[in-house]
Amino acid sequence: MAIDHISSLFAKLQALSTSDHGSVVSMNIFVALLCACIVIGHLLEENRWMNESITALVIGICTGILILMLSGGRSSHILVFSEDLFFIYLLPPIIFNAGFQVKKKQFFVNFITIMMFGAIGTLISCAIITYGVAKTFKRIGIRSLEIADYLAIGAIFSATDSVCTLQVLNQDETPLLYSLVFGEGVVNDATSVVLFNAIQSFDINQINPSIGLHFFGNFLYLFTTSTLLGVFTGLLSAYIIKKLYIGRHSTNREFALMMLMAYLSYMMAELCYLSGILTVFFCGITMSHYTWHNVSESSRITTKHAFATLSFVAETFIFLYVGMDALDIDKWRFASDRPATSLAVSSVLLGLVLAGRAAFVFLLSFISNITRKSSKEGISFRQQVIIWWAGLMRGAVSMALAYNQFTLLGHTAKRANAIMITSTITVVLVSTVVFGLMTKPLIRFLLPVPSGLTPKRKNSTANIVDSASPKANTVPFLSNGADSEANLEPQESSYGRTPRSIRDLLSTPTHSVHRLWRKFDNSFMRPVFGGRGFVPIERGTPTERNTQNQWH
């Protein structure tokens, strides 16, 4: 039905020459396809292979083929891939929602490992890919690329796609893996920004030790400022809502303020050339810790679900978009003159992505395991394989970076650049479809009993958001009252003993930091910025319990 619809609409598109009405037509097609993706995604939900992103990708590719056929091979896309659309409108809600719904404790307990994966891991992967590309591309027959291009390719294909991760890993089934791979994807963004700036500003030919130091300093600066900006915006929103809205709650204003301030944090980071993804992620975390507890009950339900839905629609949109843009016929025509070269480039890139990720995942997991107390808490080999596999997907971020590096306003000047674009598309499609399709079965094969803390939702991925929400996050606290310092989750309670070995000494700081933070949070932060238990209204009322029963 949707296909018939599109073909008739496309006939209209051909008939109309005005660009104004043309954009209305493309909007119609896109919105109709989004609806189709949601309905089909729902129908395929119980399928053990598929997920929503692959559904959208496949629908996008089919539509692209249809349009290509209808237009007589002239054009395959309605909208040209636009970095702006992606980075300004689609990415912020996804990353903000991820921060808003992330299990904070799981994230901060694994903070050091995540930082290692995101920063050092990306560098290792980038180095391996750059080295591999520089060694092999000359032999394949691509000679017009320079060393800056090789470095860029390294950075492009080291970018783990956080959006894909959200689709294949379940926060409730595999909380450790989710927090590691997704956290890595977020930190990775800061590394990518630094890498890209480094490539542009440093003279590659003059390598000396100070560059490494400069690079490290830049990364630290970027990471710190981006995080602080996000936390600051989140706290500001909490403070404004707490100060202004006592006794006079308006869901409209609360929701609007949270949404706008989250977006503002992202845009301000972009304005200051910081990492918007890091900023908006930490803004989401701060808002779920403070702001979300300062608003009325209906605002909590609304924000929780509305942010999740906006993120869901943006994700579906991205995959649909990437699928439709995959048949960029001009570039394929360029590349199709030498199909063997294109195939070789894509294969080399896929192989390097696999190797680069394998190198750092297993190495850094080994280092991380040394610092952990018991083997039970460490990352098992099976988990390492999943971390390696689940982070292999390259998505819209890689596409956007590749378009940025290898095209000038959408036109590929050189043949090598066209081949790079088509290869990127190939790598994105193959990695998303093949690796994506196999992640769910792989997890079931390697971890037959869910390793997560809440296995009850094993088969209902539709309900992820319901439990992965700020509300679910606070449920353990509700039984113990407001200021329960001793209220640590089972996994963590073993930290309570005295240190016994070198591994204990290494793991203790995490716990101490956490305890100090709790003390500081309860004494200084919550009284000022609100948060659970520090908002006068609705405290101790039975609504909290009712809500949980009803809206769960």
Residues that bind a copy of itself (CB under 8 A): 9, 12, 20-21, 23-25, 27-28, 31-32, 34-35, 38-39, 41-43, 45, 84, 88, 240, 244-245, 248-253, 255-257, 259-261, 263-264, 267-268, 270-271, 297-299, 301-302, 304-306, 308-309, 312-313, 316, 462-463, 465-466, 543, 546-547, 550-551
Cα(306)–Cα(143) distance, integer angstroms: 50
User: Which positions ≥6 away from 219 have C-beta within 8 Å?
Assistant: 119, 190, 191, 194
- What is the smallest separation between the CB atom of 289 and a copy of itself, expressed in angstroms? 20
Residue 231 or 257: which CB sits closer to a copy of itself? 257
CA 239 to chain centre: 28
Residue 113 or 469: which CB sits closer to a copy of itself? 469
Cα(481)–Cα(494) distance, integer angstroms: 22
What 3-state class would DSSP assign to 215? helix
Cα(312)–Cα(97) distance, integer angstroms: 9
Q: Which two tokens stand for residue 282?
A: 């930490």
- What is the smallest separation between the CB atom of 338 and a copy of itself, expressed in angstroms? 33
- What is the smallest separation between the CB atom of 95 and a copy of itself, expressed in angstroms? 17
Residue 253 or 382: which CB sits closer to a copy of itself? 253
CA 9 to chain centre: 34
Cα(36)–Cα(50) distance, integer angstroms: 15
- What is the smallest separation between the CB atom of 543 and a copy of itself, expressed in angstroms? 5
Residue 77 or 249: which CB sits closer to a copy of itself? 249
Residue 309 or 374: which CB sits closer to a copy of itself? 309
Cα(250)–Cα(270) distance, integer angstroms: 30
Residue 259 or 359: which CB sits closer to a copy of itself? 259
C-alpha angle with apex 484: 483 to 489, nearest 5 degrees?
140
- What is the smallest separation between the CB atom of 549 and a copy of itself, expressed in angstroms? 9
- What is the smallest separation between the CB atom of 312 and a copy of itself, expressed in angstroms? 5
Q: Which two tokens stand for residue 28?
A: 């119609």
Residue 551 φ then ψ, to 5°: -100, 5
Residue 143 or 248: which CB sits closer to a copy of itself? 248
Are 440 and 168 spatial neighbours (Cβ–Cβ below 8 Å)? yes
Name the E strands within 120-162: none
